Amino acid sequence: MIEILVSEAIAALTVLYTLYRYLLPKPITGIPYNKEATRSLLGDVSTIQKDSPGNIFGWIINQSRRHGLIFQLWLGPSQKPTVIITDFRGEARSFHITVTTGSQWKARRRLLQDLIALKFLNNVAAPNIYRSATLLLDLWKKKAELADGKPFLVEHDLFFAALDALRQAATDDKAVDFPIAAVHPALEAVLHTIDNVEVVIATGFPKLAWFIIGLLPHIRRRRAVRNELVINQVLHAIDRFNTLGKQHDEDTHVKSAVDFMVSRQVGLAQKDSTLASNWLEAMRDEFISDNLDVREKLLKSLRIAHTAAVTEHRLPTRSEICDTSIPYLDAVIEESLRLSHTGIFQDRESTEDILILGYYIPKGTHIMMTNKGPSFTEPALDIEEGIRSPTCQAAAQEHGFRAWDGEGMDKYNPERWLVLDDNGRMKFNSTAGPALPFGLGLRGCFGRKLAYLELKMLTTLLVWTFELQTSPEALSSYESLEGLTRKPSQCYARVKVRS
């Protein structure tokens, strides 16, 4: 009897050990990795949670200094390795991981294409952004008066202004406190959805965590509120189209992005029956520089460009801001996006077996590209040019390659984006050097034009209206919080209304 029990125990242990070995991470041959990760079912997750639980982004960037410009990590149990690339140069635009795949993706892209058109940006988005921005100015004027020279929290103000919400909230014990206004239930549901994504990612078990969270009653209620909002807005847009759209005048019935999408879909329905199920919303980050010289140059550039507004002692109008090209303003925005690193990584999945920087990467591999560290905010790691792909080498010979001067790559310097044209005039060059605030290619953020428009308006109006003064060191840290995106751990402003 004992012999039978011993045999069964040995067999069970053998099966368990075999299963354990099977579930251990399997590296892609030749690509550097952390050896200890292959001895843990959690891969690199346990090391990340022990060494840097609050700064996963920084931990991954540090791995590039250890392994080089390409390496692999295991960011969850029983998962394939994720390949990390910390080099900006790459394939030409026809590189297959940027090629559209599948009718569903094409249908969604087609449905959203009007939302990046100038007609939508100028006639629908711009008026709403301008109205929200002027309300933000009024709010900050009142807060500046009550704060009496002290800093106050502005994170919620900027966030809700970006979402066209008119109820801001700000509070902190070490600064001036303001009461918190109630947020619309539908918007609150959307914001909690973002928080849920951050919680799920942090667990290291996203599929299981998402399933468990979905069972909680308060999560189910918020999802119901969110879905009701989406359905109601689409139905209202359909009613407006049916009532006013027959006049063939979009200016009459198109007042929002949903109106544009409904109008577009009705037109497509005459050709096919494709139905898209969702849309994506672009988020933007506001970078407030502590550099006095930059602020003075920016204000001077704005006043030179908007002479009528200066003469008439008023704000620049919406059309003046949209239609006026100000290279230094564009440079300030681009440099703010470059260093804010709001989108932590760019994600792709290889659609076939590929060779990157001399390393074989099989089909279906998750690939993440950084926007900080080597070649972005510090000198690129050395690599022999012959290892790069023929298309990459050809692109460099034909167009040159984007690279910053090695010194001061991590410093805030908008002038790095400015060049002189043939007539000796200062010009903004959006391809002056490496930056990936919205990704590249067809799968880059579709809302980037909307984000740039919003940043242009907000930056112009805030700098025009307020003197942005430096906050105390205890309230002006550049440390960040990581979740679905990166956001500042402290976001205070000390402002004075310009006379």
Is residue 221 situated within a structural domain?
yes
CA distance 15 to 441: 47
Contacts 24+ apart (CB under 8 A), 205-209: 205/76, 205/77, 206/76
Is residue 289 situated within a structural domain?
no
Q: Please state, as a whole number, how many other Cβ atoms lie within 10 Å of the Cβ of residue 51.
A: 12
Binding-site residues sit at 445
Contact yes or no for 434/404 (Cβ under 8 A): yes
Residues 360 and 275 occupy one common structural domain: no
CA distance 392 to 390: 5
CA distance 474 to 477: 7
Most confident of 9-23, 280-294, 409-423: 409-423
Range scoring the smallest mean pLDDT among 23-37, 64-78, 306-320, 342-356: 342-356
Is residue 434 situated within a structural domain?
no
Residues 188 and 275 occupy one common structural domain: yes
Could you give the number of structural domains in the chain? 2
Q: In the prediction, which pLDDT does 249 show?
A: 52
Residue where a domain terminates, one of 366, 399, 432 = 399
Is residue 353 situated within a structural domain?
yes
Q: In the prediction, which pLDDT does 277 show?
A: 28
Residue where a domain terminates, one of 384, 399, 414 = 399
Residues 190 and 267 occupy one common structural domain: yes
Q: In the prediction, which pLDDT does 98 show?
A: 41
Task: Name, in order, each residue with C-beta under 8 angstroms of 246's C-beta and a sequence gap of 6 or more.
Answer: none
Q: In the prediction, which pLDDT does 329 show?
A: 96
What number is the average pLDDT over the span 453-463?
A: 91
Q: Which residue segment(s) compose the domain that 64 sits in?
A: 25-101+347-399
Binding-site residues for heme sit at 445
The strand pair at 366-370 and 82-85 is best described as: parallel
Q: Is the pLDDT of residue 495 over 80?
A: yes
Q: Please state, as a whole number, how many other Cβ atoms lie within 10 Å of the Cβ of residue 473.
A: 7
- Residue of 436 and 396 predicted with greater confidence: 436
What number is the average pLDDT over the span 169-191?
A: 53
Token reading at 328: 């230094």
Is residue 91 situated within a structural domain?
yes
Mean pLDDT of the chain: 76
Q: Is the pLDDT of residue 245 over 60?
A: no
Residue where a domain terminates, one of 220, 249, 279 = 279
Is residue 62 situated within a structural domain?
yes
Is residue 476 situated within a structural domain?
no
Is residue 81 situated within a structural domain?
yes
* pTM summary value: 0.72
Most confident of 3-7, 257-261, 434-438, 456-460: 456-460
Give the residue among 70, 131, 18, 55 at the shortest CA–CA distance from 365: 70
- Residue of 187 and 88 predicted with greater confidence: 88
- Residue of 173 and 69 predicted with greater confidence: 69
